[in-house]
Chain A
Amino acid sequence: MTETLNIPPRWRAFIRRGSAMVWLSGAALALSLLMMVGLVGYIAAKGLGFFWPSSIVQVQTSEGPILGEISAQEKAHGTDPAKTQFRVCNRDLFGQDYRWVPSADIQDPQRPADAVLVERLENGPFIGFIQDGSSGETLVLRAVDGQTLEIPRKHIVRIVPSNALGVFGKSRVYASRLWEFVAGDPRESNTEGGVFPAIFGTVMMVLLMSIAVVPLGVVAALFLREYARQGWVIRALRIAVNNLAGVPSIVFGIFGLGFFIYTVGGTLDQIFFSQKLPTPTFGTGGILWASLTLALLTVPVVIVSTEEALSAVPRSQREASLALGATKWQTIWNVVLPGALPGILTGLVLAMARGAGEVAPLMLTGVVKLAPSMPLDASFPFLHLDRKFMHLGFHIYDVGFQSPNSEAAKPMVFMTTLLLLLIVLLLNLAALRLRSRLRARVGGSSF
């Protein structure tokens, strides 16, 4: 048999040593890592370049002069000639932000040093020249086709003379734009400005979810592992819990809408807020209901990892505690739970990663495109659990697919995605750090 196969001895040794599997598994790991790096790199490259001031180019075409940033170029496809896309801005004058021009039609490209990009509170940015900057109240701007525009200075966010700026000047603009993005409020139906309310909403929702999911999951796991008599009922229950993790998230959203909002919220409104009815207080979507819905969604993760952590606490330690006259609950509280805490936090990390990335159930339970106020502010009672909130995941969807100007919003989508990744990473790092500190405190053991 082996003779007929006639494998060279070198290869036979290679297979016998198991080197083939080592290479195969290593390659699979490398491939998945490469894909991760590629994904993050792609998002970063698409998003991070957006804030860097690009040069403003003036060209002559058969349809008149064009002034703007070159945003894309397309090669010729069959009968379609090569085209260049300019970001011309001046939506209020031209009616559109972008223009495609056949590349062959472009003549005499220049970079006028006095061209400026003016970021405004309304109508998107303006690209053109400053006609008259003498007044303290208003600024007179001239577009490339000669139209002039007078806008109040207080509507101006910043003026960027891109062509005149050196690397240092551009870096300052970059930093200032980045800061506005992270710490500012959104403008122009979310396509401009910042995403701070969405960051705040995401973090707060994840924290509220954590507060809800950990006790719920831990108590459920305690029952399953410590109190319940192990048998087929518990086995079936455990399988059901594991399968719960695979239920599509929108189903949880529907449950949250039906149970939390209509049933629980509606009842709360009738009992405590009846004077405000028919305007609902808790009977409508809000951060509390969204967090609780996500807590339900992620509770199987916490249950499974808590159960594993509980079963990893050595039997000898439970016996030591019981032999000293501790009750079952004292043993669980003083010995089992502290020993299982790192494992419980692993579950929390997984739950947070899942929860922070969910969008579908939130759309039914309280996330909005633009929240008028934050769920946490200086007015009594400070924490407003009934308020609607903004969320980065939903922000991506909204800006990318629901925005009136989706072409202009594309870089915002990438930036917001990058930010969402970063926030999930930060939340996870915080939980991991907490876990390693706890591990150190419980004695550096590996269970």
Chain B
Amino acid sequence: MDLNERPVIPEPVPTITEPPRAGEAHILSQQGTPLTDRAALEAPTMVSVKDLNLFYGRKQALHGINLEVGKNTVMALIGPSGCGKSTLLRCINRMNDLIDNVRIDGHVRVGQSDIYAPDVDVIGLRMRMGMVFQKSNPFPKSIYENVAYGLRVQGVKNRAVLDEAVERSLISAGLWDEVKDRLNESGLGLSGGQQQRLCIARALAVKPEVLLMDEPCSALDPLATSRIEELIFELKRDFTIVIVTHNMQQAARVSDFTAFFWMGKLIEVGLTEKLFTNPRERMTEDYISGRFG
């Protein structure tokens, strides 16, 4: 987009500073919006982020984020590139620990536990989380071993348990019928969309409490994308999902809540339908209508 055509972006005003979930219902009802998805709003909190600041060296990447994700709901994180949505996602399973010079303050709770407490077991935390990455990244192993990997690193050796988990996860990921006859072939032999579903199955095998998806469809064609979206819809019944996406239609289709980020700040969060049809912030409106970003 031509820089000259850009609308003047107002200074970001952190409007949502109240605790989102409980407050969300409050705000929305205050504004007289009908509760389109009462179940979603009433879901108990699964992930809660409170006053989270994150620094890469001296550069601050996240500014005072407050966000709550209800159990068995889908939260979409949208925003232009570099706005910190992936960084936030990676805070939830502490993948940012792998990067040097990262400093975090604030609190992230998953279930009942503060995952940045000093005594927290990071390995154990990551076992409770599933993560699906932007680019499908199956291991150069067989399909079976890819899915069984999470259980294997937990020390599960019982073949029956593994077989059951592999079958269950592949069925959940909608891949079972396509691969059940070639479980021992390499996972890298699958098509791009199948590989991404294999990665989802791999994440599901450990029965995670939360599924984190970092632009899971960005490298896929529309058909494969729609399959994954259907899958997200089904997975919502059993898992809490946080999904980062650049595709606004996708966010609108799959999520219950959407959070809009800009320059490391959470600008607005709310029910997806509400946010897309009647955003409170001018910037959100500009972004979702394609005027910048």
Contact = CB atoms under 8 A, between A and B. Distances in A.
Contacts of B130: 323-324
**What is the interface residue range for chain B against chain A?**
20 to 34
Task: Find the residue from B129, B140, B154 having the highest chain A CB count within 10 A.
Answer: B140
Contacts of B123: 325-327
B153 A314 contact: no
Nearest to A335: B139
Contact of A442 (B133, B135, B140): B140
Interface in B132-158: 133, 135, 137-141, 149-150, 152-154
Interface in A86-105: none
Given A330-B153, A334-B149, A443-B189, A323 B126 contact: yes
B49 to A, nearest CB: 18
B144 to A, nearest CB: 14
Interface residues of A, number: 22
Interface string A307-322: 0000000101101111
A322 B125 CA distance: 11
A326 B95 CA distance: 12
B131 A327 contact: no
Given A316-B133, A322-B95, A443 B126 contact: no
A325 B186 contact: no
A324 B127 contact: yes
Given A317-B139, A324-B202, A325-B206, A334 B153 contact: yes
Contacts of A319: 95, 98, 131, 133, 137
B70 interface: no
Nearest to A314: B137
A198 B28 CA distance: 87
A322 B90 CA distance: 12
B95 A323 contact: yes
B188 A316 contact: no
A339 interface: yes
Interface in B167-209: 186-189, 199, 202-203, 206
A124 interface: no
A314 B139 CA distance: 10
B73 interface: no
Contacts of A317: 137, 139-140
B93 interface: yes
Interface string A253-278: 00000000000000000000000000
Given A323-B95, A325-B126, A316 B137 contact: yes
Interface of A: 314, 316-317, 319-327, 330, 334-335, 338-339, 441-445
9 contacts: A316-B137, A320-B139, A320-B199, A323-B93, A324-B130, A324-B131, A324-B149, A334-B139, A334-B153
The 9 closest A-B pairs by CB, nearest first: A325-B127, A443-B188, A323-B131, A316-B137, A442-B140, A443-B140, A443-B186, A324-B150, A326-B153
Interface of B: 93, 95, 98, 123-131, 133, 135, 137-141, 149-150, 152-154, 186-189, 199, 202-203, 206
